Structure 1
Amino acid sequence: MNTNDKVQDSMFANPVSTRKIHIFDTTLRDGEQAPGASLNPEEKIIIARQLAKLGVDTIEPGFPISSPGEFTAVQTISRELQNVEICGFARAVKQDIDSALKATEDASRRRLHMFLSSSDIHLDFQLRKSRQQVVQLAREMIAYAKQFIERIEFSPMDATRTGMEFLYEVVEAVIEEGATIINIPDTVGYALPEEYGQLFRNVQQHVRGGKSVEYSAHCHNDLGLAVANSLAAVQAGATHVEVSVNGIGERAGNTSLEELVMAIETKGPALNVGTNIQLEQLYATSQLVSHIMHIPLAVNKPVVGRNAFQHEAGIHQDGLLKNRSTYEIMDPEQLGIPRHMIVLGKHSGRHAIKHRAMELGVALTEDQLEDVYTKFKQKADGQKTVTDAELIEMVGKTVDRAIDRYEITDFQVITGFKRSRVASVTVADRHSGTERTYSAIGEGPVEAVINGIKQAMPVEIKFENLELHSMGNEEKAFGEATVTIAAGASRYRGTGINQDVIQAVVEAFMAAANQAVRMLEKAQADKQKQHHAG
């Protein structure tokens, strides 16, 4: 039994009192409406496969009527992903409904999601229809769709700014015509949690047939309340929550999938609810969406942000090294997040430095630690963080030997317009005392230099991820690079800081590569010892 199985078992230990919350993912529809987040059909399919692997219950792949490419993407996803419900999105227009039904007709399970504005401000300035016309249109379109599909979700758009009595009237009308799921959207992120939860209770209590249908919550994050509002809806009886990966979406975005799921996971016993999400896939899904949509995550983004499980304060670092639960309410490794909880900066203490040196393959004596700590504090006072390469250099001076086997002594990149970049890289092997120069090409200068360095490494290395952050906003600002590599079955991470961004990446890559080499050499040495002992 894996960790996630145990978590799910604990969440559903009392099946009578625990409700399942259906996770409805709209990353590919509402999420794609974020400026700059447009996806082509192939990218949509890649993300949809990962969403299915993540365990979402429903995928809303797009708006089929909007373009031929959108229709094709929805149709392809419907045909391929047979273990997840596919939702077709449509306005209250026959052509939209026909397109959504056609695009999803090959899905093993599907629903139609129809929306129509209900607030006076939308009716007056957007639809230019009366309330009576809206109710009649809603009735006609639900009745039309009901001829072809059983499972219909209806959304009175801008519900949280709609008069209560009119909202009751619209919802009652669509239920009478056959709608099976009522979504109450906070379209502009206007509601407070208490208001939003009460809205669900009111609809269920005052609408004829209100207790015969399912309820869904769809919240936007304009006031930063999307997750809180969604949880309020869950507590008020909603069994479906519409989310997007990384909270991507129009304006400030939608309810964040990973934040909602982990709130439920962490507070499940109090909420008496659970989900089918495979927690170990959360980080991989977040990274995939961020990379394909070219939208970086805020460093302090809950659950999946760079700083979500990193600590610089010495008191926190000391507590974490003794017991993770002292300062963390979630286990990052359970979410598929690589464990890098210690960030070395001026607030770090001796325990953190000793721990990081050990991770880098060096065990320090108490006297050596004191010497490194003194050097570290002098360095840390002058900059925000101390990189792995800088720490290794301090450790090497203290123990009087080169810790990193390989060192870049020089590199040069020739760039030009509409041509491959050419790099010349000189790498020194400090163990053998030799130095060699390698040449390589790449589509960009970083790729060219990295391709050159790889030739010097005794282990095959895959460049997996690069994060770049600006440390300042002037001409002399520094770039901070974090590089993740894979070597064999293991991953290694290095950091570099330099005014030259390419050099910062090179430093980070070399820090990670030297870690991989040290682990390889250690494994080989251990194997030889076992052989001689045998």
Structure 2
Amino acid sequence: MTIQKIQIFDTTLRDGEQSPGASIEPAQKIIIARQLAKLGVDIIEPGFPVSSPGEFSAVEQISRELQGTEIVGFARAVKGDIESAIRATRDAARRRLHLFISSSDIHLDFQLKKSRQEVIRIAREMVAFGKQSVEEIEFSPMDSTRAGMEFVLELVEAVIEEGATVINLPDTLGIALPEEYEALFRTVRTQARGGDKVRYSAHCHNDLGLAVANSLAAIRSGATQIEATINGIGERAGNCSLEELVMAIDTRKATLQVETGIDTSEIYATSRMVSRTMHFPIAYNKPIVGRNAFQHESGIHQDGLLKNRNTYEIMDPEAMGIPRSMIILGKHSGRHAIKHRMSEYGIEVSGEQLDEVYTRFKQVADEKKIVTDNELLRLVGEATATQHDPYVLTEVSVQTGADEACSARVGVRTQDGAEHVVSASGTGPLEAVIRSIQELIPVAAQFEDLELHSLSTGEDAHGEAVVSILHEQQRHQGSAIHKDIILAAATAYVAACNAALLSSARQRQQQQV
């Protein structure tokens, strides 16, 4: 059986950006668009050109620059919108005009205040108008899943007759069930006049958590294009998540008999870029890119994973560019996982020493829930009277002022017992601390990313800091939990540096052997 290619239509920069609080500047759109092209999406909808001069400019520049990707100009079924979309995309090597108009009675009665026949007339006229300048016309009857089959068929037939080449049947409110959405596509494809001469696209919202399932249902009934966003960002509960859809197809290719052209190794980098740029944090338990998606605390799961990854994982996170952090140490972890984590740092303990480490570990885990690598190495050091970390943070103090730069004083102890202290300033307390650490630890200059999370509320609240650095083309992470978020960030930064240094040392030892 032939494998069908599914085109991925990315609307992160249009529908995704419509999420409250997700708006970004035109220059940031261009950076994300470049990454989307690197990811391998087939089509990019970079914005709504008529909405603002900045939006028009961003779509125009993306059209000029990304000559290997089809660019979409989004427009209402209004001449002014269409003219703006056509102008903004005029330099694209391949372009498409995407027109939409409401189709459900509730939209027609309360929003458009037009009859069905008026909507059909407008759709006909605007598709014909757009066709004068752009060959590829995508038409979307908005809210099609609540419009009624008879009217959807009539509207689709009208726009096909005027030259529409792609029919998108959007589940605008995310109300459809997979079997209903599948039936909608099947009926339109087989019963609409000219329905066999156009391509079909699905655009699903996630209000009931069914966006990916509905998109797969559309594929089963003939859709060859899926419209999605990075991290599932979008209005209300969001759109179909690109990474979830792509990995569902990739993982179940033999069953679905379809594939995409996405470079899965770029998934994580793209997800992180969109999350940071739009200031939208990713839920811990989000499939594919959530921090817990490939992490395991249960002792039974950890034991199985250490013996064979496939026991509890159906995908390879590293193939998606996700750092390998399979085992999370917590109160449910067993001796096997703890011993394995220590061995990753070249530390071998057994017998009474392992029992001592395990006892100390359980005490900390009951209090802090998660035991970071930095904390584990401290516990091992206490049990063995040895400092295993290249650097141990010994002092952090910060001085702030309303109108002055902040200053920080940071101290570390090296493995030979020497104490080092430096001071640095910055525009904020965190920057001052980071600069101090960078002076103390040369590898720390490769700082990449910082995440801060609140783990609780009230007077006893704790914050978690996760720091990523790049060292010798490899990403390393460190994490720490503390009531003082600045101290947590500093500890996590030093932990990431230690992980990088220990990793390099292990690699050198292996090469010598």
Q: TM-score if structure 2 supplies the norm length? A: 0.97
SS in structure 2 opposite 1:230? helix
Contact kept? 1:482, 1:495, Cα under 8 Å = yes
1:370 to 340, 355, 366: 355
After TM superposition, give the deviation of residue 526 of structure 1 in Å: 7.2
Contact in 1 for aligned 2:177/2:214 (Cα 8 Å): yes
What per-residue deviation string (whole Å, max 9, x for no partner) do you get for residues 156-199 of structure 1? Answer: 00000002111111000000000000000000101000000000
Partner in structure 2 of residue 269 of structure 1: 254
Which residue does 1:358 correspond to in 2? 343
Task: Report the residue type matching 2:211 in the other structure.
Answer: A
The structural deviation recorded for 1:380 is 1.4
What is the CA deviation profile of residues 311-360 of structure 1, one whole-angstrom value per residue up to 9, with x for unaligned ones? 00000000001110100000000000000011000000111101111223
1:209, 1:145 → 2: CA distance?
19
Tell me, yes or no, if structure 1 residue 246 matches structure 2 residue 231.
yes
Matched, 1:193 2:178: yes
Q: TM-score, normalised by structure 1?
A: 0.94
Q: Report the CA distance shift for 1:363/1:147 in structure 2 as closer, same or farther (over 3 A).
A: same
User: Compared with structure 1, are the counterparts of its residues 520 and 208 closer, same or farther at alpha carbon in structure 2 (3 Å cutoff)?
Assistant: closer
Say if 1:378 and 1:273 are closer, same or farther in 2 by CA, change over 3 A: same
User: Hey, what does 1:516 align to over in structure 2?
Assistant: 500
1:466 aligns with 2:450: yes
Equivalent in the alignment of 1:161: 146
Contact residue 361 and residue 519 of structure 1 kept, 8 A: no
Contact 2:143/2:173 (<8 A) preserved: yes
CA distance 1:238–1:424, change in 2 (3 Å):
same
The 5-angstrom pairing of residues 227-238 of structure 1 reads 227-238=212-223
Q: 1:467 aligns to what SS in structure 2? A: strand
Work out whether residues 138 and 165 of structure 2, in 8 Å CA contact, stay in contact via their aligned partners in 1: yes
Alpha-carbon offset, residue 243 of structure 1: 0.2
Task: Give me the whole-angstrom Cα distance separating, in 2, the residues matched to 1:451 and 1:470.
Answer: 24
**Backbone CA RMSD of aligned residues:** 1.5
- Give a deviation string over 1:192-241, Cα, whole Å, max 9, x none: 00000000011112211111100000000001000000000000100000
Query: Partners of 2:56 and 2:184 in 1: how far apart?
Result: 34
Alignment of 1:9-408 (within 5 A): 16-408=1-393
Query: How far apart are the structure 1 equivalents of 2:178 and 2:503?
Result: 50
Aligned length: 513
Which range moved further: 419-428 or 443-452?
419-428
Equivalent residue for 1:13?
none
CA deviation after TM superposition for structure 1 residue 524, in Å: 6.3
State which of 438, 444, 449 in structure 2 corresponds to 1:454: 438
Q: Per-residue CA shift, 1:269-300, capped at 9, x if unaligned?
A: 11110000000000000000000001000000
CA gap 1:478/1:201 in 2 versus in 1, 3 angstroms: same
Counterpart in 2 of 1:505? 489
For residues 28 and 417 of structure 1, the distance between their equivalents in structure 2, rounded to whole angstroms, comes to: 38
Aligned partners of 2:368 and 2:432: how far apart in 1? Answer: 29
After TM superposition, the structure 1 stretch with the greater mean CA deviation from structure 2, 384-393 or 255-264, is 384-393
Q: Are residues 1:495 and 2:502 paired?
A: no
Aligned with 1:298: secondary structure? coil
Q: Secondary structure of the residue that 2:13 maps to in structure 1? A: coil
CA distance in 2, matches of 1:74, 1:418: 41
Letter in 2 for 1:31: G
Change (3 A) 1:325 1:418: farther
Cα distance in structure 2, aligned partners of 1:115 and 1:418 = 52
- Structure 2: distance between partners of 1:214 and 1:523: 52
Percent identical residues: 62
Query: Gaps spanning 5+ residues in structure 2: where?
Result: none
Greater shift, 503-512 or 147-156, is seen at: 503-512
Q: Partner residue of 1:441? A: 425
Extract unaligned runs of 5+ from structure 1.
1-15
Q: Is the 8 A contact 2:467 2:493 kept in 1?
A: yes
Q: What secondary structure is seen at the aligned counterpart in 2 of 1:413?
A: strand
Matched position secondary structure for 2:287: coil
Distance 1:522-1:269 versus aligned 2 partners, 3 A rule = closer
C-alpha distance in structure 2 between counterparts of 1:35 and 1:206, whole Å: 39
Deviations 1:455-505 (A, max 9, x none): 111435311122222121212210111111122223221111100111111
* SS of corresponding position for 1:211: helix
Tell me the CA shift for residue 123 of structure 1. Answer: 0.4
Q: Distance in 2 between matches of 1:240 and 1:136?
A: 27
Distance 1:524 1:256 in 2: 41
Q: Which residue identity does 2:458 align to in structure 1?
A: E
Aligned with 1:50: secondary structure?
Answer: helix
For 1:178, the aligned partner's letter is: G
